[in-house]
Structure 1
Amino acid sequence: MKKVKVGIVGLGRLGLQHAKNLAFRIPHCELTAVCSVIEEEVNEVMQKWNIPFGYTNYEDMLENKELDAIFIASPSGYHCKQINQALEAGFHVFSEKPLGLYMEEALEVQTAVEAHPDQVFMLGFMRRYDRSYAAAKQKIDAGEIGQPVLIRCYGLDPANKMDSFLKFAKANYSGGLFLDMAIHDFDLARWYLGAEPEEIWAIGGSYARPEFDEIQDAETGAAMVRFDNNTTGIFVAGRNCAHGYHIETEIIGTKGTLRIGTVPERNQIVIMKEEGAIQECVDGFLERFEQAYLSEVEEFINCILEKRKPEVTVKDGVESTKLAYACKKSFETKTLINVKEESVAYN
């Protein structure tokens, strides 16, 4: 079987993990080119992993006719333009979330993807490929908790990562708490509930770090959402979790409740001493979702080889962005937002 030759743009923390997976862990895949605006990153990866092509200019990489696919792991603000360019150049495209920082951009990408039906496009909602989240979907669809009526999601980043995040956010790469962090939970809610949002109320603020006020973002925020089938979503996102990286999801149904990740345990070890019973927690998304990041890219490569489309579509990216953007607007304006009215304004 032929190998899919991939070029990746973005070699930051997540981009480097994706690059390792593409280079060493995915069958029938070859990492052929790497691109970063930081020349030292490009040179280091090329030399260490024996990658044949390296670029500091994205447009130059798109001229490489040996490539079959482009993998976008650059900062969020570049996603839309780079997706459009890669599709126009004839490549299959995988892009990390979010689809874009603005609704207008996300809708432009949807139009571009639909204009290239023979190319595979996939968005990085990796939690759908995590074994626990995938198993939860199967149990919900099988009716094990009856009809889902409420979803509650916690997405909390480690407190010790706040300095690096603030640097990232001040460079205008984030899009805000709801678009950068909670968008994964919004995608899961749509997936599990089988519904789209109608009304949103979002609040939040800065508590430990006043710098979040300066960039008009929330250090910790919450949103309550009513979906179009009258189900409810409660979402909490934060940057200041003392015990580590805490991702927790609960789905309440008419016949039972399902929870994922209630204790963000690193392993099955429990240490018992003066302070009590202690379980170590995971300290970041790369550790918690290592398997999911690998599995989602395996699916992307398999879709190319098997000439089929992935379950995660550009519409999932657009609808989750609508929800995240409505939360952002509700937080900033301190008002209840009707998502359908917002959608009319976007279109």
Structure 2
Amino acid sequence: MEAGSTAVKSVGDVGGPTSPTGPRPDSADVRRSAWRRRLSRLDTVVSPYVFVSPFFLLFLLVGMFPLGYTAWVSVHQWGLLSGQGEFSGLDNYRRVLEDRYFWNALRNTFSIFLLSSIPQVLIALGLAGLLDTQLRFRGFWRMSVLLPFVVAPAAVALIFGNVFGDRYGLVNEILQGIGLEPIRWHVDTLASHVAIASMVNWRWTGYNALIFLAAMQAVPRDVYESAALDGAGRVRQFVSITVPMIRPTVIFVGITSTIGGLQIFAEPRLFDTAGLGGSDRQYQTLTMYLWELGWRVRDLGMASAVAWLLFLIIVTFAVLNLLASRRAGSLKGLGRKGAAR
């Protein structure tokens, strides 16, 4: 018996240690398997950040660095030709806020912004609603509303310069044809704001309409069918179903329109041949005032202060726009719950 047991032991020793489920894995295999698991977890965590990192690197290079450098310039005496001077603190901001041309440009900017951004979003919503219906030649109409966006601003200025000309403009010719007095588009403040806002609306309304259209096409069609069975017409469906369901897109377009409207430069700059925003600066915007300080007065310190004030104004308006949109959405939700009760 002892000899037999010894033989059995020797046979077991030939194959190494055994376990009830098979041979035990080698320690090197265990380490490799653990290393692969760690790499897999690391890849899952790090890969998304690697994929989005080019955007953030580019944003830091062309966005945050110029913003920070502008803040640095705004607290120094800085000439276009002389370069950096002494540290001035908030003196450039004080000089800007004491300049009457700054407040004039701020009023003009708000006026043109209100005349362009609000009608632009509302008209774009209506166009998108029409394009979302069963129109004939829908592809043609969708392409047509985008054509003004691809037209160069200089060409737009030439077109609308003839439309809103003081002496031989198309609009004034029509007004005189029906017995009305011509409008001084380049002289009267409100008239010039309307003309510039018309240029902005003509260029950007179709672009925003296609953004709204893309969001509308993502709304399930069965929702409209259920509403139609309940007796809701197209207008009621648009107001009660379409607009609430594309509310994030409406907020996005509203914020981008706010940013673009407060930064308007090309249209008023090309509307005026002198480049100052009218003979009495009646449509000079903040960006035109900034350009004048930087390239005509050659005071980059004050120009940078204006740039930072404009940045703070845009951020404030964007936040207010977002809060107002969310507030409106929450009030609608509460109204629906109350009606359901």
TM-score, normalised to structure 2, is 0.23
Normalized per residue, the structure richer in strand is 1
The structure, 1 or 2, with the larger RCO (C-alpha pairs under 8 Å, 6+ apart) is 2
TM-score by length of 1: 0.22
